[in-house]
């Protein structure tokens, strides 16, 4: 084998579904490793809603966009197959931003060894971006207090599942908003949420009222959509809104307006956005916070694994349709 | 004289202008003061946008609404005319929530003596609700840093004028949004704002772009209205929005939607509402922060004084039209 496959971003999305013409599959020459370098064969890569931001041209965003013609950005796990680096040995597993490609040449920078005896799927579903995002957003932005009520949108998603389970472990009343009855059933009966609301059903406001009889203290927002303002209307004084994602808006050219700020005054709400690149230097602290919950068996997950590098492209559309069941991964 | 006049709230506003039928003017018997009591003749009372909240029936609001049939709530300054209280002497000036009435019977609770050798108008315009609100909102919510750019809406209003002058004294670039060219001229040439934008003019977004070439770090929001989302669109990463008032929405039955939360994520914004009753216990600290700026001559003000108790009713509509020039007060 003298070549490998990579997928480059060649055109920016302009709203609507992700189409194949945004990307180009290319063959690359297998590199020769130099002194202090090693070669990783990537086995699993992660698909995340953050990718819509990385593809967008908005230079005011939190991280530079992927340049046109560059390999598409993603995190993944692989195995070292060749090495001239003293600290990285052949056979070891490493995790990091390796992009949409089968092989990755590295000098070690930005890659971390995976020591935990867990399969790739579990590592990428819990200890990578989803778990770090959930931990930072819930604890450091949401500031949960035992006995409070939290609503999590996108509750069956990779971040939402972890947020809900962490909040439950902290003694909050946890209500998840999802897009199917199957997911509603799963988060309540398997993950232990107190209640679930299918946002496609009727009487959303009545459901909120009955599931949150004491009002809502925290909204962990992953989706946007019409239920957003109904939730804000039911928030208690000093409530916190953690704005983590707005998947319902990522494919729209003109984003939907948000709720009036009237309740922000009357209830003294705080609405705060965050993204993980601001907190990469805090990853050790975040993992220290997250790990005990995982070790205590309080964080379950499920993965939705697509097969083959090319499946990543259309796979992104599953975020819009909500048809993925669990954390989206691509097996190479 | 054996009676005095008071104005009671008898009906709640339901959107639209404030009308006389919401109030009833009543004659009350002059009270006989008991042991430990004193009688205040109120000389000036303050009209504030917060009154729209106090008249509304929303019990989830930050302070209980005025009960129907009760005297309308307001702060004011008066002179003690009779006293059986050892600490409050005839002739002393006191300030506090005395309501829409000519006389106020007190045991001292909730009233503070006015020692500063300043006229009532200056006290009510700076050291009462407007100055406390500006100080709390700017410093404790907005967290201004020298060299940053702040946009203040309602910039010629009682709170906005003080926010802008405090921010200027702190070394920020200060842009005020107002509703007339006269006010624009006043805040720039008299109060020292760096720039003013009349929200009734064209090309608001172009004006924002040219006055805030480095983007906007803080929005101090007093008004709402269409310029709100243009300002948010120009906010820098880690920007702060201080939500203090939404006068453009107080007379609407259905409040206007707010900006999309997309920028809240991308720019990691914090949008935070506050109201002063949460901070009444911090008033000494706030006054300690505010006073040096006033003493250094950095906080100018102007008052718009209406004559007679009854003028308060229609006077509230000046907040909607923006026709008041300076802090609204009623001289009794």
**What is chain A's pLDDT, residue by residue, as a tens digit (332 residues)?**
599 999 999 999 987 889 999 999 999 999 999 999 999 999 999 999 889 888 987 655 567 899 999 999 999 999 999 999 999 999 999 999 999 999 999 999 989 899 888 899 999 999 988 999 999 999 999 999 999 999 999 999 999 999 999 999 999 999 999 999 999 999 999 999 999 999 999 899 999 999 999 999 999 999 999 999 999 999 999 999 999 999 888 777 788 899 999 999 999 999 999 999 899 889 889 999 999 999 899 999 999 999 999 999 999 999 988 888 889 999 99
As a whole number of angstroms, the distance between CA A163 and CA A157 comes to 10
What tokens appear for A68 in the block? Answer: 């046109």
| Chain A contact probe: residue of B209, B261, B275 with most A CBs at under 10 A | B261
Fold of B3-115+302-331: Quinone Oxidoreductase; Chain A, domain 1 (3.90.180)
Give 3-state DSSP helix, strand, coil % of chain A, rounded to 5: 30, 25, 40
Question: Looking at CA atoms only, how far is residue A271 from chain B in angstroms?
Answer: 5
By the CB < 8 Å criterion, does A53 face chain B? yes
Residue B331 contacts residue B44 (beta carbons within 8 Å): yes
Residue B301's region, left for phi above 0, alpha for psi from -120 to 50, else beta, is beta
Q: Could you tell me how far CA B268 lies from the centroid of its own chain?
A: 29
Task: Enumerate the residues of chain B whose CB falls inside 8 A of the CB of residue A243.
Answer: 261, 264-265
pLDDT band at B235 (very low <50, low <70, confident <90, very high): very high
Mean pLDDT of the region B176-201: 96
Nearest Cβ partner for B61 among A246, A260, A266 = A266
By the CB < 8 Å criterion, does B252 face chain A? no
Task: Enumerate the residues of chain B whose CB falls inside 8 A of the CB of residue A264.
Answer: 243, 258, 271-273
**Sign of the CA dihedral B251, B257, B259, B264?**
positive
Residue of A43, A4, A38 lying closest to A124 (CA atoms):
A43
Inter-chain contact A265–B273, Cβ cutoff 8 Å?
A: yes
Residue of A91, A96, A122, A103 lying closest to A29 (CA atoms):
A103
**From the CB of residue B37, how many other CB atoms can be counted at a distance below 10 Å?**
17
Mean pLDDT of the region B211-221: 98
Q: CA–CA distance from B327 to each of B48, B129, B155, B290 (Å)?
A: 8, 11, 12, 18
**Sign of the CA dihedral B301, B302, B308, B314?**
negative
Inter-chain contact A60–B245, Cβ cutoff 8 Å?
A: no
Largest CA distance in chain B: 66
As a whole number of angstroms, the distance between CA B5 and CA B25 comes to 7
Residue B58 has pLDDT above 90, yes or no: no
Residue B288 has pLDDT above 90, yes or no: yes
pLDDT band at B192 (very low <50, low <70, confident <90, very high): very high
Q: 């702190």: which residue's tokens?
A: B170
Which backbone phi and psi does B123 adopt, to 5 degrees? -60, -50
pLDDT for A64 equals: 84
Q: 């609700």: which residue's tokens?
A: B129
Hey, what CATH class is B129-278+288-292 in? alpha beta
A140 three-class SS: helix
What is the value of pTM for the model shown?
Answer: 0.89
Residue of B221, B293, B242, B267 lying closest to B140 (CA atoms):
B242
pLDDT for A8 equals: 98
pLDDT for A135 equals: 98
| Beta strands A93-96; A76-83: pairing state | antiparallel
The residue of chain A nearest to residue B58, with distances taken between CA atoms, is A266
Please enumerate in sequence order all residues whose Cβ is within 8 A of that of A180, keeping only pairs 6 or more positions apart, or say none.
A198, A200, A322
Comparing B91-95, B184-188, B253-257, the range with the smallest average pLDDT is: B253-257
Mean pLDDT of the region B84-110: 96
Q: CA–CA distance from A82 to each of A38, A91, A103 (Å)?
A: 6, 9, 11
ipTM of the complex: 0.88
Domain positions in chain A: 3-115+302-331, 129-278+288-292
Residue-wise pLDDT for A210-238, tens only, equals: 999 999 999 999 999 999 999 999 999 99
Inter-chain contact B261–A273, Cβ cutoff 8 Å?
A: yes
Alpha-carbon Rg for chain B, nearest whole angstrom, is: 20
Residue A282 contacts residue A136 (beta carbons within 8 Å): yes
Inter-chain contact B249–A272, Cβ cutoff 8 Å?
A: no
pLDDT for B284 equals: 87
**Sign of the CA dihedral A280, A283, A285, A286?**
positive
- Per-residue exposure over A102-131, b if at least 16 CB sit within 10 Å of its own CB, e if not: bbbbbebeebeebeeeeebbbbbbbbbbbb
Strand-pair partners of B112: B95
Q: Could you tell me how far CA A235 lies from the centroid of its own chain?
A: 25
Is residue A183 within a helix (H) or strand (E), and if so which, with residue range?
Answer: helix A181-189
Which backbone phi and psi does A208 adopt, to 5 degrees? -60, -45
Inter-chain contact B261–A260, Cβ cutoff 8 Å?
A: no
The residue of chain B nearest to residue A235, with distances taken between CA atoms, is B60
Task: Enumerate the residues of chain B whose CB falls inside 8 A of the CB of residue A53.
Answer: 266
The residue of chain A nearest to residue B243, with distances taken between CA atoms, is A265
As a whole number of angstroms, the distance between CA B87 and CA B84 comes to 9
Beta-strand ranges (E) seen in chain A are 3-9, 23-29, 38-46, 76-83, 93-96, 103-106, 112-113, 149-153, 173-178, 195-198, 216-221, 235-243, 270-273, 303-307, 327-331
pLDDT band at B62 (very low <50, low <70, confident <90, very high): low
Residue-wise pLDDT for A177-212, tens only, equals: 999 999 999 999 999 999 999 999 989 999 999 999
Alpha-carbon Rg for chain A, nearest whole angstrom, is: 20
pLDDT for B254 equals: 81
CA dihedral B30, B31, B33, B34 (to 10 degrees): 170
pLDDT for A62 equals: 64
Inter-chain contact A249–B259, Cβ cutoff 8 Å?
A: no
Residue A224 contacts residue A246 (beta carbons within 8 Å): yes
Residue B200 contacts residue B230 (beta carbons within 8 Å): no
Question: Looking at CA atoms only, how far is residue A217 from chain B in angstroms?
Answer: 13
Domain pair B3-115+302-331 / B129-278+288-292, same fold: no
pLDDT for B250 equals: 76
């Amino acid at each position: 084998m003298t070549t490998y496959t990579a997928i480059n971003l060649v055109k920016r999305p302009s709203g609507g579904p992700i189409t194949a013409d945004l990307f180009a599959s290319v063959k690359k020459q297998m590199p020769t490793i130099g002194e202090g370098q090693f070669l990783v064969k990537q086995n699993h890569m992660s698909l995340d809603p953050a990718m819509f931001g990385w593809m967008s041209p908005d230079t005011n965003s939190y991280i530079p966009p992927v340049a046109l013609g560059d390999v598409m950005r993603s995190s993944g796990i692989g195995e070292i197959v060749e090495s001239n680096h003293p600290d990285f040995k052949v056979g070891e597993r490493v995790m990091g931003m390796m992009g949409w490609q089968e092989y990755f040449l590295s000098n070690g920078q930005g890659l971390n060894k995976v020591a935990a005896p867990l399969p790739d799927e579990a590592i990428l579903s819990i200890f990578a971006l989803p778990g770090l995002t959930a931990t930072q957003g819930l604890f450091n932005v949401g500031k949960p207090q035992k006995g409070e009520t939290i609503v999590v949108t996108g509750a069956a998603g990779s971040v939402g599942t972890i947020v809900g389970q962490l909040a439950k472990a902290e003694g909050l009343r946890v209500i998840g908003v999802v897009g199917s009855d199957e997911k509603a059933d799963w988060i309540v009966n398997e993950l232990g949420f107190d209640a679930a609301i299918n946002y496609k059903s009727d009487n959303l406001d009545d459901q909120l009222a009955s599931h949150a009889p004491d009002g809502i203290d925290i909204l962990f927002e992953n989706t946007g959509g019409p239920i957003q303002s109904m939730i804000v209307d039911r928030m208690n004084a000093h409530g916190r809104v953690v704005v983590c994602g707005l998947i319902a808006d990522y494919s729209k050219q003109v984003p939907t307006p948000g709720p009036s700020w009237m309740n922000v005054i009357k209830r003294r709400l705080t609405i705060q956005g965050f993204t993980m690149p601001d907190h990469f230097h805090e990853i050790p602290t975040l993992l220290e916070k997250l790990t005990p919950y995982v070790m205590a068996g309080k964080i379950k997950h499920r993965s939705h694994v697509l097969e083959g590098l090319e499946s990543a492209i259309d796979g992104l559309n599953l975020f819009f349709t909500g048809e993925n069941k669990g954390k989206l991964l691509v097996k190479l």
